[in-house]
Amino acid sequence: MAEKPKLHYTRGRGKMESIRWLLAAAGVEFEEEFIEKKEDLEKLRNDGSLLFQQVPMVEIDGMKMVQTRAILCYIAGKYNLYGKDLKERAWIDMYVEGTTDLMGMIMALPFQAADVKEKNIALITERATTRYFPVYEKALKDHGQDYLVGNKLSWADIHLLEAILMTEELKSDILSAFPLLQAFKGRMSNVPTIKKFLQPGSQRKPPLDEKSIANVRKIFSF
């Protein structure tokens, strides 16, 4: 039996959370080795585990994979969540890059000063509702199917659900003008593997609290 993937990161969401989502949605059990202090990170760096001295790092199929996008592409391809041909893969990539941009803005919020944070929450809400969500709403409307690409669950759907839930943490009614995305959220949340991941006690991580923010700053020296 193949070994379970092992994820090396802090206890927070950060760049590892989308990897946790994708593995969970694929029905893959994984282990986590948490970086709790600066010395844990230094140990990984010193023993040659981190190609570019950075995490996330995932041990999978005999590799120590780094770079978030490379890891996600590998998992999506391995577990048949990356389309049936090059054109479908291109659409999945475009949709994923959009949600990555949106989630990147949200990910930065806990580390910002209060006044900057307030402005950026307003900006994120505006961008989500005028730049990003209309694209996915239109895609679902145009082809009338349950999934974004190829009428089959893909990385793009999983990433979009993650982004929707993150933006709802900032503004609970953010999907009010997007009925098809509301329905999409309901469908995706009931995919058995995803439903399990959304239950309390899963490996999904909560938003960072003040103590966690301070610890992350200490580990990564910023």
CATH number for 101: 1.20.1050.10
Give the helix ranges, DSSP H, for 109-144: 114-127, 133-143
pLDDT tens digits, one per residue of 117-174:
999 999 999 999 999 999 999 999 999 999 999 999 999 999 999 999 999 999 999 9
184 and 95 within one domain: yes
pLDDT tens digits, one per residue of 75-118:
999 999 999 999 999 999 999 999 999 999 999 999 999 999 99
The pLDDT, as a whole number, for residue 221 is 84
Q: How far, in Å, are 65, 149, 159, 195, 197 from residue 192 at the CA level?
A: 28, 20, 16, 5, 9
Evaluate if residue 2 carries a pLDDT over 80: no
Evaluate if residue 64 carries a pLDDT over 80: yes
Helix (H, G, I), strand (E, B) or coil at 65: strand
Domain count for the chain: 2
Look at residue 205 and tell me if it is in a domain: yes
Q: Average model confidence (pLDDT) for the chain?
A: 95
pLDDT > 90 fraction of the chain, expressed in percent and rounded:
95
207 and 169 within one domain: no
43 and 97 within one domain: no
Range of the structural domain that residue 157 is part of:
84-190
Q: What is the mean pLDDT of residues 18-26?
A: 98
pTM tops 0.85: yes
The pLDDT, as a whole number, for residue 222 is 78
119 and 70 within one domain: no
Evaluate if residue 56 carries a pLDDT over 60: yes
The pLDDT, as a whole number, for residue 1 is 56
Look at residue 139 and tell me if it is in a domain: yes
163 and 97 within one domain: yes
Q: What is the CATH number of the domain that holds 31?
A: 3.40.30.10
Structure tokens, 190 = 């009931």
CA angle 134, 160, 146 (to 5 degrees): 80
Q: What is the mean pLDDT of residues 16-26?
A: 98
148 and 173 within one domain: yes
Dihedral over Cα of 73, 74, 80, 83: its sign: positive
DSSP state, residue 62: T
Look at residue 122 and tell me if it is in a domain: yes
